[in-house]
Amino acid sequence: MAATAKSRYMTAVKWFTAFVCALLCAAAVCCFTGSSADAAAVTNCKVSGLTTKTYTGKAQTQSITVKYRNKTLKNGKDYTVSYQNNINAGTAYVVIKGKGSYSGTVKRSFKINPALIYKQCTFYKIASQYYTGSQIKPVPKIKNGTTTLKNGTDFTLTYQNNVNKGTAKVYIKGKGNYTGSCSLKFSITARPVSTLKITVPSVTYNGKAQKPAVTVKYNNYTFKNGTDYTLSYKNNTKIGTATVTVKGKGKLSGTRSVTFKINAKPIKNAVITYNNSLTYNGSALSPAVTVKYGKATLKKNTDYTVAYSNNVNAGTGTITITGKGIYGGSVKKTFTIKKLGISATAVSGTGNKIYTGSAIKPVPAVKVGGRTLKNGTDFTVSYKNNTEPGTATLSVTGKGNYSGSVSKTFKITARAINDVEVTVPDTVFTGVQVRPDVVVSYGNYQFINNSDYTLSFKDNVNIGTASVVVTGKNHLSGSRTVTFPIEKADISGTEIAVKNATFTGSAVKSAVDVRLGNVTLKEGTHYTLSYKNNVNAGTAQVTVSGKGSLEGAVTKDFTIAKANISKASISASGTYAPDGVKIGINAKFGNYTLKSSDYIVKVPTSAGEQTLTISGNGNFSGKATVKCNVAKADIANAKSSLSLSTDGKGYTVTVIYDGVLLTQNKDYKAAVTESGTGVSAVIMGIGNYGGTVTLSGISNELEAFENAVVTIGKVTYNGTAQLPSVTVKIGSVTLKSGTDYILSAYHNTNAGTATAVITGKGKYAGAEKKTQFTIAPAAISSASISCEDQIYTGQGVTAQPVVTFNGKTLALGIDYYISGYSNIVNVGTATVTVKGKGNFTGTAKGTFRIVKQDNMEALVKKRLDEMMEGKWDRKIYDYWHSYQIGKYYNTLLTSPCTCHSYCETGNEAGCTCLIGRSHVLNNSGIQCAGFTIEVFEYLFGETNGTGENTLTIRNRSDGNWTEAALKKWMTDTFRPGDYLAYDNIKYGYPHYVTIYSVDTDGIWVYEANYGGRCKINFRKFTFKEIYEETDGLWHRTPNNYELSEY
């Protein structure tokens, strides 16, 4: 095949291999995907022990058993275990990879159920809310331990009665990693008037009491006068500030006073007349005004005042009339001040000028009407031919308060070099001739070297005083000598390299190389060194300071690497204690004694000769090992007691070390001796404990506790570990849980017999009672049963029920079994009956629909739309493989029908097609006639270690499958509505068919891309020849293979 097709084929093979492995492992069949030639043990392994988990926020693990035939494989030796997706609720995976004598990989799924939100989490009280006029939606604070849950991620909220005053509710529903629902209440109270926005408009004085409308709002909600509040007014007649008081009622509470303005009559409504055009005279201009309001002429300084601004200079002046008495506000009016002209006799004061190298701009004297005008304020000057020597022209143009224009001439002569400024920049020693850039300028003009002057240098190599001669040319004449110093060089201009070092425990002085150009400088002659932060591992600094011909200082970083702790001299000792072995470390690295912050010790858990692993920390890296003798804990330091056994026939010895109850025959041995009426016990430490202690006498409290009466309440299976309700009495005294005893239990999850353990506490410490109780099976009728719809076939159809209990999916054959079906032939509602098993009892019924086959076209169209939009909600069985001539294959074959280029009626020549679909394949059969030859070859094949298929079905320990076994696998696996997909290897996109019914001898599929249906059966065939490409697709017809018998 072409390279691109082969590449696409190998990609599909790898993807499909992983998919099939997961599928077959679900049926407890292991799949080998490794490269070892001997894979028999892995392909026949059996994995058990997987259980369903509940979300805790932490990674979930499994205790599994892996068997090869009757041999149990060892984790770490024969295989390794890793996990995928094992934290959040959903489907997690345990991946088992062969090791040593075993190879291959097994991937098994297990479920992580969401946690019940109302049991797992803490809910905080919602604060009282004020009425807003709209829905109030506070978000409650919910925490799982120290983790705060997120709204929309971990839960969703709905609200009830959350608008009006009273008691509202918020309903909390678990989401994502949480499930279950609960609710919280919160109060809605009257809103204080002080929190509202109150708006009162200003009014105009009319001599009467005024009551403007008031707007009272909270956000966008407006409250109603008389219903939600009442109003009262004060000081609301005269001009000035009036007050309105809002008093809440109903939805509002409290009172609040707000002010509003009673304004005077606006003066802006008056008619004002005046002279609006005057000429500039240098003084303030104040035209008289007349003000009329209606028919009345107002009086200046009684009814109004007048002020002037911008009334001196030419332009627009302003008159401001301000109301007074019963008139208020102000109004502005404008008038024009015209400019004064400039005459020719007004300009004087121009004379000859000297060349500067830039434009020369003398400023003339200008006088008008006895006033001296200001340049830039009263006039502007423009120039012509005013740079080079010769006759220049200036023009004076009126500005501001003046107008008109006058021109005058003046002369420009050449400039001597002694009149210019010569500047030589600072220079530093370089070891070669120094030729600084000399600047020759006049004012802001800079002359050009070799155009306006030439330079010659003297004594310009060594440190000291050098000189330069500047000789004028062109616009400059004469010559001038200027001296300049050559100073010391700054060390920052050198190249400095610092080598890295390793931690020693004392100050590190790394090697430094300093160069100026191509010259290597000497420490002590040209520079000195000082160090900082140069003890501990990390970044240190070295400062290079100039000396002699250099000055200044430069600081460079260098790295002090961590020392390897394996090179240190280490000794250790320890003593065992129940809360952890106490270890003492003595370590030296050269002359440096290590601190506890320099290392981390992996502490052993038992007494005796131990090998410690010490990992470097801080200034150290790497690891070291050291032998350590951990001394046993002395049993004499424990709190020991001797008491009568609960049956009264013997004695119990209790030993508590640092609050930890020790285990007899593991931590100590006890020998009890009776002598007359006395009892004594000799306790000898064993294991992690040593020493001996002798007891005498019996603890009355312990004896009384062990003879206490325990009463246990009823318990019913709920899928979790349960503690029963208990009552513990000594005589007529009822002991208190948590004070006198602690309750625990084991074997307390599944239905059956569990054991409660009552452990003494306080004065009863050291005593213990065990008593059994029964966990009754739950009624299977309390579980939820759901089934998928099935397609009518004319024969009986069944559906696999999904049974859930408290959020957990129950296992068929473990928690329940199917006892029967009814009404499973005709279209309508069918019934499945399940019966409880193990943790469940009784029976329950579920229903599913049987729908007509004529709905299949709509179903296929729906599936096709889902595929094109990338919405996959059903299983997809994907496959592709290249056949080889002369090889035998176990596969599915179709009974092909012939659909021609267009289906007019949707039922042509016995072939049901999608109406209106063009380009249906000709004669060779609908497309599924080709794809079904490929379906099961890969599912039942095995690889030979190179990625190619050996094209046999010897992938089960019982050899080749029989036709009956293949049929059973097919009918047990596929469900109506599932997809089958295969590649069009020319165009690189897949074709799909949809399974719409499953019979006892095959499955019917509907071809989704081109239309048509066909039935798939199992056969065995021999491939005869390589097929050809036609119609843009790869086809296989009956001419390409011959049938064989099983």
Neighbours of 884 (CB within 10 A): 12
Beta strands in 761-842 (DSSP E): 768-776, 778-779, 784-786, 790-791, 802-805, 808-809, 816-822, 828-836, 840-841
DSSP annotation of 193 reads G
Residue 12 within a domain: no
Residue 14 within a domain: no
Among 338, 358, 387, the domain boundary falls at: 338
- For residues 588 and 626, what is the distance between their CA atoms, to the nearest angstrom? 13
Which is nearest to 105 in space by CA: 37, 49, 35, 51?
35
Residue 809 within a domain: yes
Task: Kindly give the parts of the chain with pLDDT less than 50.
Answer: 1-40, 856-857, 860, 863-864, 867-868, 870-961, 981-991, 1008-1012, 1018-1046
Residues 606 and 505 occupy one common structural domain: no
> Which residues neighbour 674 within 8 Å (Cβ) at sequence distance 6 or greater?
none
DSSP-assigned beta bridge partners for residue 907: 912
- For residues 259 and 249, what is the distance between their CA atoms, to the nearest angstrom? 21
DSSP annotation of 811 reads P
- For residues 443 and 452, what is the distance between their CA atoms, to the nearest angstrom? 16
Which is nearest to 334 in space by CA: 315, 349, 313?
315
Domain count, the chain: 12
Beta strands in 200-274 (DSSP E): 203-204, 215-218, 221-222, 229-234, 240-248, 252-253, 255-263, 265-266, 271-274
Q: Are 728 and 739 in contact (CB under 8 A)?
A: no
> Which residues neighbour 56 within 8 Å (Cβ) at sequence distance 6 or greater?
115
DSSP annotation of 165 reads S
CA 589 to chain centre: 44
Rounding to the nearest 10 degrees, give the CA dihedral for residues 819, 825, 829, 834. 10
Residues 601 and 670 occupy one common structural domain: no
Residues 869 and 932 occupy one common structural domain: yes
Which is nearest to 562 in space by CA: 616, 608, 523, 506?
616
- For residues 1012 and 1005, what is the distance between their CA atoms, to the nearest angstrom? 9
* Residue 62: per-residue pLDDT: 94
* Residue 602: per-residue pLDDT: 87
> Which residues neighbour 288 within 8 Å (Cβ) at sequence distance 6 or greater?
274, 275
Residues 939 and 1038 occupy one common structural domain: yes
- For residues 86 and 95, what is the distance between their CA atoms, to the nearest angstrom? 11
Residues 895 and 965 occupy one common structural domain: yes
Residue 540 within a domain: yes
Which is nearest to 112 in space by CA: 176, 185, 187, 183?
176
DSSP annotation of 255 reads E
Among 338, 371, 391, the domain boundary falls at: 338
Q: Are 728 and 708 in contact (CB under 8 A)?
A: yes
Q: 987: buried, middle or exposed (CB in 10 Å: 19+, 13-18, 0-12)? A: exposed
Identity of residue 816: Y
* Residue 661 exposure: Cα atoms within 13 Å on the Cβ side: 11
Give phi and psi for 973, each to the nearest 5.
Answer: -95, -50
Per DSSP bridges, beta strands 1003-1007 and 1013-1023 are antiparallel
Question: Is the CA virtual torsion 600, 602, 603, 608 positive or negative?
Answer: negative
Residues 738 and 753 occupy one common structural domain: yes
Angle at 423 between CA 419 and CA 427, to 5 degrees: 160
Residue 9 within a domain: no
* Residue 732: per-residue pLDDT: 72
Range of the domain at 1034: 854-1044
> Which residues neighbour 9 within 8 Å (Cβ) at sequence distance 6 or greater?
1, 880, 881, 882, 985
Q: For 709-754, what is the HEC assignment?
A: EEEECCEECCCCCCCCCEEEEECCEECCECCCEEEEEECCCCCEEE
Q: Are 320 and 268 in contact (CB under 8 A)?
A: no
- 665: tokens are 């025959």
Residue 19 within a domain: no
Neighbours of 712 (CB within 10 A): 16
Q: Are 322 and 347 in contact (CB under 8 A)?
A: no
* Residue 699: per-residue pLDDT: 52
Per DSSP bridges, beta strands 464-472 and 479-487 are antiparallel
- 416: tokens are 């001597």
- For residues 749 and 753, what is the distance between their CA atoms, to the nearest angstrom? 10
pTM of the model: 0.32
Neighbours of 470 (CB within 10 A): 23
- For residues 855 and 858, what is the distance between their CA atoms, to the nearest angstrom? 6
Residue 350 maps to which CATH number? 2.60.40
* Residue 735 exposure: Cα atoms within 13 Å on the Cβ side: 29
Helix (H, G, I), strand (E, B) or coil at 668: strand
* Residue 999: per-residue pLDDT: 59
Residues 1013 and 909 occupy one common structural domain: yes
- 510: tokens are 């790394």
Give phi and psi for 262, each to the nearest 5.
Answer: -105, 105
Helix (H, G, I), strand (E, B) or coil at 824: coil
Residues 97 and 153 occupy one common structural domain: no
Residues 1011 and 865 occupy one common structural domain: yes
Residue 3 within a domain: no
The residue behind tokens 């003000």 is 291
Residues 833 and 927 occupy one common structural domain: no
Residue 937 within a domain: yes
Beta strands in 979-1044 (DSSP E): 979-984, 989-998, 1003-1007, 1013-1023, 1029-1030, 1033-1034, 1041-1044
Among 174, 189, 204, the domain boundary falls at: 189
Give Cα separations from 448 to 385, 389, 415, 472, 760 (angstroms). Answer: 21, 18, 15, 11, 105
Residues 517 and 615 occupy one common structural domain: no
* Residue 677: per-residue pLDDT: 52
Strands laid side by side in the 692-696 sheet: 668-675, 678-685, 692-696
Residues 1011 and 880 occupy one common structural domain: yes
* Residue 938: per-residue pLDDT: 30
